[in-house]
Structure formats: structure tokens, C-alpha cells
Amino acid sequence: MTYPTLAVRLPDWLEKFLSRAERTYPTVDERMRLVIELSRLNVENGTGGPFGAAIFDMRDRSLLAAGVNLVVSGNCSILHAEIVAMILAQAKAGTFDLGAEGVGPCELVASAEPCAMCLGALQWSGIRRLACGARGEDVERIGFDEGEKPPAWVDALERRGISVVRDVCRDEAVRSLRDYRECEGMIYSPRR
């Protein structure tokens, strides 16, 4: 029996886009607008659903790594935007801990609140701060599922030393989700 492998990498359009992107993002609104733009471009380029994420090094507000949802194009239900960004940020930093000495502190900026899996992953990543655009209910309103999260997940993250900022450019983030629904994007969802 031979075993397959999976190469996690950004789509070509995104590598090109990032090579032209600004190098620093001083405000959280600028950082959020980048990931909302990625959520739109991911749909336009046909590489996945309307979700973007990025991880910033908060020492100089520079982009450490970006991610988009690659579930369908990558044949992999794990490849949510946040997970892709975490995998690539850790590969770049050469450590499984983005809170290790010499790295960060790091912020995860996500165009929508993380699902149950991404929330769990955040706790193991070493990231110190989360900024979200659309709310979980905005995501569910267009037909996606957030999964079973702990009821007070924001408090739970804060208790673990991860600060949370919600509703950053929420209207713009919601618009990207709505535009996706209106063009009848494929909503991959697990059977219940």
C-alpha cells in the first residue's frame, strides 16, 4: 500500500498578490481589509470559499503568512483559511510555537470568527491575539456551519492569554459573504 502526501501551499494567484502587497499593516482595519480582500479573491479565482486569514508579527505589523480556504481545491476538510495561515506561518518561523522566543507576538486576523476546529487550533499555535470580521451567525446565515464551540469561547481564549477583538470591519466582511451567497457559491458542508 502506498501512502499519499499533501503539500500545503498557497495558490499561485495568492503568491503573486502577496508579492505586490504592502509590507506592513499598522492598523487592525488595514490588516482586516487585506484578509477580506483575500476572501473575495479566493472565490473569484475559484480556489475555495469566501474566507481569508493572515498572521502578523506584532513587533512591526508585518505579514508573516496568509491563508485562504482551500477545502475543495485541496481535497482536504482541514484546510480552512486560518489553518492554512497557521501551517505556513509555523513553516516560515521554523517552529510549532508562534509564541516562542524570537517569534512574534503574533496576531491571527480572520475574515470571519473561527469554527470549532480553528478555535481549537488557535490554542495550540502560540498566537497571542485574534481579530475577527464577520460573526459566527453571519457565517451561518449564508449556510456554513461553525460546529460545536464552547459557549463562552471568547472568555476561554482570554483565560489562556489570547486576546480577542470582534467585529473589525464587520460590514465589509459580511458583504463578502453575501456576495458569495448571491453568486451561488458551492457550500461544502458535512452531512448532519
Closest approach of a second copy to the CB of residue 116, in Å: 3
Residue 30 C-alpha cell reads as 488595514
Residue 79 C-alpha cell reads as 484546510
What sign does the CA torsion over 94, 81, 63, 108 have?
A: negative
- Choose among 119, 182, 181: nearest CA to 150: 119
Element (H, E) at 141: helix 136-141
97 binds a second copy (CB under 8 A): yes
Contact 50, 38 (CB under 8 A): no
83 binds a second copy (CB under 8 A): yes
Adjacent-strand bridge partners of 88: none
Return the residue of 117, 164, 179, 181 that touches a second copy, per CB under 8 A: 117
Return the residue of 24, 29, 143, 188 that touches a second copy, per CB under 8 A: 188
End-to-end, the C-alpha distance of the chain in Å comes to: 32
15 binds a second copy (CB under 8 A): yes
Closest approach of a second copy to the CB of residue 83, in Å: 6
Return the residue of 88, 103, 174, 177 that touches a second copy, per CB under 8 A: 88
101 binds a second copy (CB under 8 A): no
Note the residues at the interface with a second copy (CB under 8 A). 1, 3-10, 15, 18-19, 23, 63, 65, 71-72, 74-78, 83, 86-88, 90-97, 99, 115-121, 123-126, 145, 147-151, 153, 156-157, 159-161, 188, 190-192
